[in-house]
Copies of this chain bind each other. A is one copy, B any other.
Amino acid sequence: MAKVYNFGAGPAMLPESVMLKIQEAWLDFKGMGVSLIEISHRTKEFEQVLLKAQEDFRKLTNLQENYKVLFIHGGARMQFSALPMNLAGRVASKKCLYVESGNFAKLANKDAKAFCDVKVIASSADTNYDRIPQVTPEMIDQDAAYLHITSNNTIYGSRYNSFPETGNVPLIADQTSEILSREIDYSKFGCIYAGMQKNLGPSGAAIVVIREDLLGHASEQTPPLLNYTLADQDNSLTNTANTFAIYVTGLVLEWLLEQGGVAAIQKQNEAKAKVLYDLIDSTDYFRGVIQPEFRGTMNVSFKLPTPELEAQFLKKAGAAGLYALKGHRSVGGIRASIYNAMPMVGVETLAGFMEEFKKNNG
C-alpha cells in the first residue's frame, strides 16, 4: 500500500511504533501465550499495565499527589453527564458555569442541564465560534460548583492560549483534542478529562484527572461506573475496565516519554502548526476559520475560495494519500487534525499539496 497520512479528527492516527508494538504482541502478551485483550482485568499483568499508565501520565504532567488519574467508560461525551452528577452537589444550588466556545462546549452544557443548574457565562456562538469568548473574574459566581471550559475546540481549531482566573471555583477542562499536546499547569484545574480517541488511544473510554478534595459529592443517582469517587476507591477497576484502551494509552504515554515528554512534543506541535498557518497567512486563497490569536496546534481549519474547489481539493488529496481532511459539517471547508502522532513529514506533504493545488487552481 502507498504511504498514507491520516488527518482525521478522531478516532485518529496513533504513533507508528505504538501500532507496531501492539501488532507484535497481539497473540502473546508478555510471554503469556494469549493476547492482552484475552486476560482478566484482575491479573497482575493487567494491573501492571494500568499502574504504569497512571505513573507515566503523572510523569508527563508533573501531576501533584493530590490529583487522581481515573479511567472511565465512554468518551468525553459520557463525562458531559458524569461531571455534574459528580460535582454539582458541591453546592446546594447545584449552579454550574459553562463557557460556550464551540459545538462540543455547547453539547457539554446541554447534557448537564438534566443534573444541575447550568449558567452559560460566555459564548462565541454569535460569531460561529471563530474565537474563545472572553471570561473575566467578575463573570464567575464564586458560589458555583465549577466552571467548565473546552480547552481546545476540535471542530474549529481554537484553543485557550491563557486560562480564566476562577478564584475558588474549580476550573474544569475538556481537553479531548489537545491533552498532552502542550505544557499545562494542572494545579490550576480542579478536573481535566479527555476522550482517548485523539491524543491517547482508541475510542470508548476517557481519562479523568481530578483533585481529590472534589471527590465525595456524587448524587445518589450516579451510576456506579460513572462515580469518580468509586473509581478512585477501586483504582478504575470497579468492574471490567476497558483493558484494550488503557493498554494502548499506556503505550502512547511511553512513546511520549521517549519523545522527550510534553515540552518536546509541544515544540514539534508548534513547528507543525506553523507550517500550515504560515502558508494560510501568505495567501488569500486559503482562509483560516478562526481569529489568529486563538489558534491552537491540533486542528487547523481553513477554507478555499469556493465549495467546488474544496470538493476538488478533498478528492485530489484523498487520491494523493492525504486522508480525512474534510471539515466538520457545521463549518465546511478543510480541517487538518495534526495530533501528537502526526509526523512533520505528513504536515510538509500536506503543505506541498496545498501549494500545488493553489498553483493549478488559483
User: Measuring CB to CB, which residues of chain A are less than 8 angstroms from any residue of chain B?
Assistant: 1-4, 6, 8-14, 19-20, 22-23, 26-28, 31-35, 37-41, 43, 73-75, 77-78, 80-82, 85, 111, 114-115, 195, 197, 202-205, 220-226, 238-245, 248, 321, 323-324
Contacts and interface: CB of A to CB of B under 8 A. Distances in A.
A224 B41 contact: no
A14 to B, nearest CB: 6
Instruction: Give how many copies assemble into the complex.
Output: 2
Contacts of A35: 14, 19
A89 B145 CA distance: 30
A8 B77 CA distance: 32
Contacts of A195: 240
Contact of A243 (B11, B73, B223): B11
Listed from nearest, the 10 A-B pairs whose CB atoms lie closest are A204-B242, A81-B223, A4-B33, A73-B74, A77-B239, A37-B202, A23-B26, A203-B240, A1-B33, A202-B244
6 contacts: A6-B34, A74-B239, A114-B222, A115-B221, A202-B243, A244-B245
A267 to B, nearest CB: 24
B13 A204 contact: no
A12 B38 contact: yes
A241 B203 contact: yes
